[in-house]
Amino acid sequence: MRAFVVTKYKEPLQEAEVPEPAVGEHDVLVRVEAAGLNPLDEKIRAGEFKQILPYKLPLILGNDVAGTVISVGTAVRGFKPGDEVYARPHQDRIGTFAERIAVAEGDLA
């Protein structure tokens, strides 16, 4: 899967091949159709939050997403494949600058 990642703080994003997202029983796999770029993404890229949000590099950036559900975990009840959705994934699960992302059902609308 292709994604834009931070490999080193304060450096430009790099396009890279990354593993497919792991989909847990309460997760929804979303095909990303739009990802918002906001000031939070830039601050993370610049390393401004590395003391309080210790992300492991390389990191797929992206905090906002809109897309289509591809599949759902076994415990998901509110979404099904084909649904159009949007989300702000939890800070521990960012990564919307990719082709697909697994999002917790509770973070999705």
What's the pTM? 0.93
Which runs of E-coded beta strand occur in the chain? 2-6, 14-17, 27-36, 59-60, 64-72, 84-87, 100-104
Domain 2-107, CATH homologous superfamily name and number: Medium-chain alcohol dehydrogenases, catalytic domain (3.90.180.10)
Strands 100-104 and 27-36: antiparallel
Q: pLDDT per position in the chain (109 positions), as tens? A: 999 999 999 999 999 999 999 999 999 999 999 999 999 999 999 999 988 988 999 999 999 999 999 999 999 999 999 999 999 999 999 999 999 999 999 999 9
